[in-house]
Amino acid sequence: MAVRDRGIGRDRAGSLRKALDRTGFYPEVVAEAVDESLAGEAVVSYYVHHEPTFDRDEVRRHQSVLVLTPSRLLFAHTDEHAGDDLLPEPYTSTTTEAVSLDSVKSVVITRMSTDPSGGPKPPAEALVTIGWGGVGRVELEPAACSDPQCEADHGYTGVLSSDDFSLRVSAAADGPDAVDGLLAFAGALSASTHG
């Protein structure tokens, strides 16, 4: 279940709280973590994505909350756990991260549309990848030359990429509003990082 923000331009904290309540995924716990991370800043835009997963005979739930403020991008990830040796009762873990908008290096938005020859249609899926340099990835492969007979060692070639956060939603699994909402949030974030 995803909830999108429909009103950019004013403080959306109340709307964000209602969205957290609608998901029903430990709204008090999640709201407290998000509120502490906001540190009094206004909510410019947000996106809430609740994702249940199946682990053998258990259903586990995860929720991501993305919040854009005038100066920062906030992430809150909450997972539920069945209990373990240290904490025998079921529990949640919530991790928050705040990234300065000045640090955001890339906002990659991918839209997947079906039947493109039939003209524009609403995207069936969206993938948003945000990079700020917190996590770097290097992909290496042997370098080669165009001579098929060459047996020389040409070293390696590769790509260094920043891939700190990715979220993919689909209209089939999450509903059309989820895709629209993620694209709207990504657009607001992209517009906020142009400066």
Residue-wise pLDDT for 11-48, tens only, equals: 899 999 999 999 999 999 999 999 999 999 999 999 99
Count of residues for the chain? 195
Percent of the chain with pLDDT over 70: 89
Q: Are 180 and 188 in contact (CB under 8 A)?
A: no
Q: Are 175 and 51 in contact (CB under 8 A)?
A: no
Residue-wise pLDDT for 50-59, tens only, equals: 987 777 777 7
Band of residue 7 on the pLDDT scale cut at 50, 70, 90: very low
Q: Say if residue 104's pLDDT is above 50.
A: yes
Global pTM reads: 0.79
What residue ranges do the domains of the chain occupy? 2-104
Q: Tell me the residue ranges of DSSP E strands in the chain.
A: 2-4, 45-55, 58-68, 72-81, 91-100, 106-112, 125-131, 136-142, 156-162, 165-170
Average pLDDT on 66-87 reads: 92
CA–CA gap between residue 169 and residue 122 (Å, rounded): 13
Average pLDDT on 163-174 reads: 89
CA–CA gap between residue 42 and residue 119 (Å, rounded): 39
Q: Are 111 and 128 in contact (CB under 8 A)?
A: no
| Mean pLDDT over the full length of the chain | 87
CA–CA gap between residue 191 and residue 182 (Å, rounded): 14
Band of residue 9 on the pLDDT scale cut at 50, 70, 90: very low
Position 154 scores a pLDDT of 80
Band of residue 135 on the pLDDT scale cut at 50, 70, 90: low
Q: Angle CA(33)–CA(20)–CA(7) in degrees, nearest 5? A: 105
* 33 compared with 132, residue with greater pLDDT: 33
What is the phi-psi region of residue 103: left when phi exceeds 0, alpha when psi lies from -120 to 50, beta otherwise?
alpha
Q: Are 16 and 34 in contact (CB under 8 A)?
A: yes
Which residues are CB-contacts of 28 (< 8 A; sequence separation ≥ 6)?
none
**Helix, strand or coil for residue 71?**
coil
